[in-house]
Amino acid sequence: MALIIGLGNPGRRYEETRHNAGFLVADRLGDRWGAACARAQLGALVGTGLISGVPVVLAKPQGFMNLSGQPATSLKGYYKVELDQIIVIHDDLDLEFGTVRVKKGGGHGGHNGLRDLNQKIGSGFVRVRFGVSRPPEGWDAADYVLGKWSEGERAQLPDLVDLAADAVEAVLRDGAQQAMTTFNARQPQRHLSSMDA
């Protein structure tokens, strides 16, 4: 059993923001595999099913980003999932837009959702990192990730969400190490400044 957690903020206000990349990928996986996150459980919206032949719980925590750890802890305990069987999908300022990477463990890099997860469950989970680029000079990082996708980014989002969903499937199917080899060698699909329209 694997637990896949897409990070984001609940509510319509945040739907189109960069910080909700994890929710977008979780929804794409749910659509692909008939496991939509439609049931409220332990502070998250969850779906269950098979992805790449592996039984999974797909979850979108419904507290705000900095409170992602408690639903994750509750689901981990309820479904008896080991830490190395957890995959977390999140936006990443340290990767340029158009980049998807797989990583195991590591620090939070200032990401409030990862910070809370690391504090509550430890840092040994697998991460699928969805690049959103650094904010333009003079922009506050929090305002940037809570800002809406630019027109140019929005045009590329479907392909990038698919790519990140592919990465999750590869972790489940081939293991984290092989998925890292496959995805971390890829060039970004196309560099596009977050300010491009």
Catalytic residue among 19, 90, 111, 191: 19
Q: Is residue 83 part of a domain?
A: yes
Q: Of 67, 64, 83, 90, give the one whose Cα is nearest residue 121.
A: 83
- 197 found inside a domain: no
Residues 117 and 68 sit within 8 Å (Cβ to Cβ): yes
| In-domain check, residue 194 | no
What is the DSSP-derived secondary structure letter of residue 125? S
Q: Is the pLDDT of residue 125 over 50?
A: yes
Q: pLDDT (tens digit, 9 = 90+) per residue, 145-185?
A: 999 999 999 999 999 999 999 999 999 999 999 999 999 98
> Average pLDDT of 125-133?
95
Return the CATH number at 37.
3.40.50.1470
Specify if 190 maps to a domain. Answer: no
Give the pLDDT score at 142.
86
pLDDT, tens digit (0-9, with 9 covering 90-100), for 56-66? 999 999 988 98
User: What pLDDT is attached to residue 118?
Assistant: 92
What is the average per-residue pLDDT within 26-54?
A: 97
Give the pLDDT of residue 109. 77
* Within a domain: 92: yes
Q: Which domain holds residue 17?
A: 2-183
Let me know if residue 109 belongs to a domain: yes
- Predicted local confidence at residue 189, as pLDDT: 63
* Number of domain units in the chain: 1
Is 108 an active-site residue?
Answer: no
